[in-house]
Structure 1
Amino acid sequence: MDGWNKLSSSFAGINIGQSANKFAKGFTSSVQATRERLGQVAPEEITELPQEYKDLEARVDNLRAVHLALLKVTKVYETETYDYPTQIQESLTEFGTTIGTGITNFAAANLKGTALPTPDPVELPTPQHKTLPHAIARQAAASATAVTSTAGPGDDKLGKALGAYAGAWAKIADARVEQDETIRERYLMPWQSTLSTSIAVAMRARQAVRVSRLELDAAKQTLKTAGPAKQEAARLEVENAEDDLVQKTEVAITLMKTVLENPEPLKDLNELAKAQLMFHATAAEALSSVQGEIEELSVAAEGEYRKSRDH
């Protein structure tokens, strides 16, 4: 048992020593960063990083900024209602219907066998897509039914046109849902993944370089002011810090090159453009077809109108 206690104490001592050393380095690098920020360190006393490293830093910063800027705009595809603000009122109405149905069904299930009247259970209405194409298709279809129901014999051209228009927009609505699903899966997810993985790893490697550089310059300052008894230890600390900075810089350069050479962003952007093209092509085809049909009905109606006026 005594041997075990000694071993445990030894490990504890090692861990405490490592923690203390890490804390001390963190403190000195923070002090060094503060001094540099306040202009208390001459430019020539700040270790210059390789030009290749600095060039790669600028390029990675640009790539990261591009990802963030485009993501800020295209994240709308994660929300179905991006083109249909009126859906807010529809959603509130549906919410009220859901609450009312829930209360009715609760009463139907719990008032059986009592003297109180028991309502019949009610089925919830099927949830509707909240997009502009779906809304246009729904309203055009409802309008077609309304117009046709009151039209006289041979007087249903507007109803036919509205019905055809509703059918075209129903196709566009389906294409819109498919577009958004494709964009989310093949563009947004990998685009965000690049930000949170390879670019983030490169950014962390750069942070490690920054901390290592601060520790090196802090060690150089310590060496300058070290007394004869501490000169050797301070010199070794500088050498170790130099080796650490070289190693971390090489790692960061490799990671930044990997990020910049990665073809994934181009593939993701291509998927975005393809999905949008498919949607707009479907929309153009559907509208082109129905517009020709509506135009024929319009010309016929106008001819009939003029003929009736001539008489």
Structure 2
Amino acid sequence: MDKMQAFGKNFSATFQPFAARTQQFVKEQLGTADEKTQLPDDYLELEKRVDALKQVHQKLLQVTSQYSQEAYDYPPNIRESFNDLGRTISEKVQLLSHATSPTEAQAALTAPPSARPQPKTFNHAIARASLAGSQVLAPSAHGAEDPLATALEKYALAMEKVGEARLAQDAQIQSRFLAGWNTTLNTNLMFATKARKNVENSRLMLDSIKASKKAAAKGDLDHSSEDARAEIEQAEDEFVGQTEEAVSVMKNVLDTPEPLRNLADLIAAQLEYHKRAYEILSELAPIVDGLQVEQEVGHADFHDKPITARAARVRS
């Protein structure tokens, strides 16, 4: 029996304030409330700034969350098989270096995976396509390695390195930017939202009490009873206290350097990735240029020889 009475008291203590706040809220929405306690301009300005910060976090996270998806730049029109994704480019090149026939070369390209499937990124896809292309090209008529095949193999190795650099960038962004901005959005800004809700509830409660006491005093609060004035003062103190608490919470959210620090980490990760990609391609470019020059020189020498000499070479 005592437990039931205690439950009834707790329920009443919770429900009655809720009902009073709800009634006051409905009156304000319908325009029938006698008065509405106004919040300070400085407080309203803080609310606007917090709302703006929340919007910034939501919009940027909506885009940058793609860094959590490995295949965000993987072409949707590509159809790669399980064998295509089995080995790294470096492993395949190593296996191909020991191949002595087209059959062995094909077996090296389709060797079963040694670990997890290879990443589905744009750079890795280019690498796999380039290596496959290099193996399609047959050796030249005079037995030398095809220059384009050589260039494609080296390009495949470089693209794999760029792809790995992109994955390293993504990991840094996930841990240093996305985690930080999600914490701000889902923790710090949520605290601010809760504090603001407490302010709104205390204001509604204050105005509800004022309205009921005013009605009891027939429209004149100055003639209210001492108990009524004490209840209003208590509600005012609660409203002021909640407002001060919310101001402190919102200022802390707005003043924290974490979002800017997280943004700097995002930029640093992107910079490191592009720097690494530049270094890899800078090493590759002169090698491919050299292969191109050698091919052009060899092509010119071949066409400068007399036809009879070329014919004799072909017959031999």
Verify: 1:138 aligned to 2:128, yes or no: yes
Q: With the length of structure 2 as denominator, give the TM-score of the two structures.
A: 0.78
Residue of 251, 256, 269 corresponding to 1:275: 269
Q: Is the 8 A contact 2:173 2:266 kept in 1?
A: yes
Verify: 1:151 aligned to 2:140, yes or no: yes
Determine the C-alpha separation between the residues in 2 that align with 1:282 and 1:151: 34
- 2:231 paired residue number: 237
Residue of 205, 221, 226 corresponding to 2:211: 221
Q: Is the 8 A contact 1:141 1:166 kept in 2?
A: yes
Residue of 3, 9, 13 corresponding to 1:21: 13
CA offsets, 1:269-296, max 9 Å, x none?
Answer: 1111111111111111111221222122
Q: With the length of structure 1 as denominator, give the TM-score of the two structures.
A: 0.79
Q: Aligned letter for 2:234?
A: N
Q: Give 1:34 shift.
A: 1.8
Q: Give 1:30 shift.
A: 1.2
Higher helix share: 1
Determine the C-alpha separation between the residues in 2 that align with 1:172 and 1:219: 67
Determine the C-alpha separation between the residues in 2 that align with 1:157 and 1:124: 29
Q: Which ranges of structure 1 fall in alignment gaps of 5 or more residues? A: 98-122
Q: Is the 8 A contact 2:214 2:224 kept in 1?
A: no
Q: Give 1:81 shift.
A: 0.4
Q: Give 1:72 shift.
A: 0.4
Determine the C-alpha separation between the residues in 2 that align with 1:54 and 1:282: 47
Matches within 5 A, 1:6-17: 9=2, 12-17=4-9
**Secondary structure at the residue paired with 1:202?**
helix
Q: Give 1:69 shift.
A: 0.9
Q: Is the 8 A contact 2:158 2:281 kept in 1?
A: yes
Q: Is the 8 A contact 1:81 1:87 kept in 2?
A: no
Number of residue pairs matched? 274
Q: Aligned letter for 1:243?
A: D
Verify: 1:197 aligned to 2:187, yes or no: yes
Q: Give 1:237 shift.
A: 2.8
Q: Give 1:47 shift.
A: 0.6
Verify: 1:51 aligned to 2:41, yes or no: yes
Q: Which ranges of structure 2 fall in alignment gaps of 5 or more residues? A: 86-111, 306-316
- What fraction of aligned residue pairs are identical, expressed as a percent? 39
Q: Give 1:65 shift.
A: 0.9
Q: Is the 8 A contact 2:50 2:254 kept in 1?
A: yes
Q: Aligned letter for 1:195?
A: L
- 2:63 paired residue number: 73
- 2:101 paired residue number: none
Matches within 5 A, 1:40-119: 40-41=32-33, 45-86=35-76, 89-90=79-80, 93-94=81-82
- 1:206 paired residue number: 196
RMSD over aligned Cα atoms: 2.7
**Secondary structure at the residue paired with 1:82?**
coil
Q: Aligned letter for 2:204?
A: L
Q: Give 1:232 shift.
A: 4.4
Determine the C-alpha separation between the residues in 2 that align with 1:279 and 1:172: 8
